[in-house]
Chains A and B, each alone.
Chain A
Amino acid sequence: MNIDPRVSIIEDRLESVKRIIAVTGFKGGIGKSVISVSLALALNEKGFKTGLFDMDFSGASGHIILNSAGSFPREDKGLIPPYVHGIKFMTAAYFSGDRALPLRGSSVSNAIKELLTVTIWDELDFLIMDMPPGINDTALDVIKLVKKAEILPVQIPSKISEDVLKRSIEIYRELGIKITGTVENMSASSKPGFYSQIFYDKALEKTLGCPEKIMKTCFYGDVLKLALKVSRTSKMSKREGEREKTRLVKQNGDIPGEVKK
């Protein structure tokens, strides 16, 4: 009988990560990656030790948004993700370079297990996982292997996106996965019922690849609000939560959201 030893160590590798948030969505092109990167930047800006893991191996884009050219993991009893704009960043793009990576399901699973096994994240307050669209091999592997992952679903104001999200969320609920809250991206108007709304910002596209410019957009202002909400929706104990809330209020005042809308 052949045994895969890698799965036994994955939980240990993530032991010192306080919260793992899988930014997911059920259609492509709805802004998951830009939200993931910006959320990681925002949490880091607010003083949280943050990591970002681009789980979309075939369609990796975090490295383009962050402009991580020239960075590469360091080997030290595993792979140590490099800091890119203050975030510990891991992506398969380090290894595939500018090549396309055509992966079938079992290969996706293998690659995920490999990187989860050898990546040494060390202590983190948040690890943001940028997921590929849909409930596919990656999502099922994260559910199976990363027990403390919670999901942050993204949708856009579109019937199709909304409908697919409703069906998919049901599966996560049935599996008992924590859902942090649904984010509407590219919003046109304020609507009740969303955990967070990120308004359409036509200036965003030109800033991709330059995190300093991303951080000056209205889009980022909305993500900053989301980051603070996420950091307050904590799995921490009540006492820890109160302490964290006090810390955040001291640090930030009230939720800084009034960023140039």
Chain B
Amino acid sequence: MVNPLNLQPSNLQLLDSRRFVQENRYLLSLNIMHEWALAESVIKTIKSGKNIKKGSPVEVLFGELQDIDREIFSFALDELLKQEPELKKTRIKIETEKAEFECVSCGAKFDLKAAVNTPEEKENIHFIPEMAKAFIKCPKCRSHDFEITKGRGLSLRVTGNGEKCRKH
């Protein structure tokens, strides 16, 4: 990849490093985030043709709980698709699914807003969504025993009609 930030030592010296990292988080993290590994699994699944008819439009569903970085994931998909000429025409649409939980103990239904997390906890849930069981409690009965009924993590959906899918 070309140097998108035109990073020269003289430029770097002038920058306030913390602000620099914050403002360019996306560009700095393009090649290092673990979203890449998840994007690889999407490409591998589409390429395998298992359960997905070649050329069918595909919808990638992001679960709100895992909080996958959409920009980084899209970049990874683009880069990986470039290496797969046979998937050139594949249309991929990205959608986010709201997270929903249901307490096994008291039956209460709640969403992510009801579950307050620190940034560190959110980061751990980002890597393994099931870590939510360690950090989130039912707002009604304080139980950790709940089901993630919707919006856990990454999944694929083959859409019947390609017309609604824009080219990723």
Contacts and interface: CB of A to CB of B under 8 A. Distances in A.
A1 B145 contact: no
B144 A102 contact: yes
Interface stretch (A4-12, A16-24, A193-201, A206-214): A4-12
Interface stretch (A76-84, A152-160, A243-251): A76-84
Interface string B135-148: 10000000011011
Contacts of A103: 130, 133
* Interface size bracket, A side: 20 to 34
A3 B45 CA distance: 9
Nearest to B36: A77
Nearest to A120: B37
Contacts of B125: 95
B114 interface: no
B117 interface: no
B116 interface: no
B127 A95 contact: yes
Nearest to A11: B44
A117 B131 contact: no
A99 B134 contact: yes
A242 interface: no
B129 to A, nearest CB: 7
B40 interface: yes
- Among B48, B50, B156, the one with the most A-chain Cβ atoms within 10 Å of its Cβ is B156
A246 B63 CA distance: 52
Contacts of A104: 104, 145, 147
Interface in B7-66: 31-34, 36-38, 40-42, 44-45, 48, 50-52, 61
B73 to A, nearest CB: 12
A101 B31 CA distance: 31
Contacts of B104: 104
A1 B51 contact: yes
* Interface size bracket, B side: 35 or more
A47 interface: no
B51 A78 contact: no
A3 B133 contact: no
Contacts of A3: 45, 51-52, 155-158
A233 B61 CA distance: 45
Contacts of B52: 3
A107 interface: yes
- Among A77, A100, A102, the one with the most B-chain Cβ atoms within 10 Å of its Cβ is A77
A171 to B, nearest CB: 26
A215 B45 CA distance: 44
B129 A110 contact: yes
Contact of A107 (B45, B50, B130): B130
Interface string B68-104: 0000000000000000000000000000000000001
B151 interface: no
B165 interface: no
B44 A4 contact: no
A92 interface: yes
Given A95-B124, A95-B127, A75 B33 contact: yes
A75 B28 CA distance: 12
Contacts of A9: 37, 40-41, 44
Nearest to B29: A75
Interface of B: 31-34, 36-38, 40-42, 44-45, 48, 50-52, 61, 104, 124-125, 127-131, 133-135, 144-145, 147-148, 152-158
Given A9-B40, A107-B148, 12 more contacts: A1-B158, A4-B156, A5-B44, A6-B38, A8-B41, A77-B31, A77-B32, A107-B130, A114-B129, A114-B130, A117-B38, A118-B127
6 contacts: A2-B155, A2-B156, A3-B52, A5-B154, A8-B50, A108-B130
Instruction: Report the 3 A-B pairs with minimum CB-CB distance, sorted nearest first.
Output: A78-B37, A99-B134, A77-B36
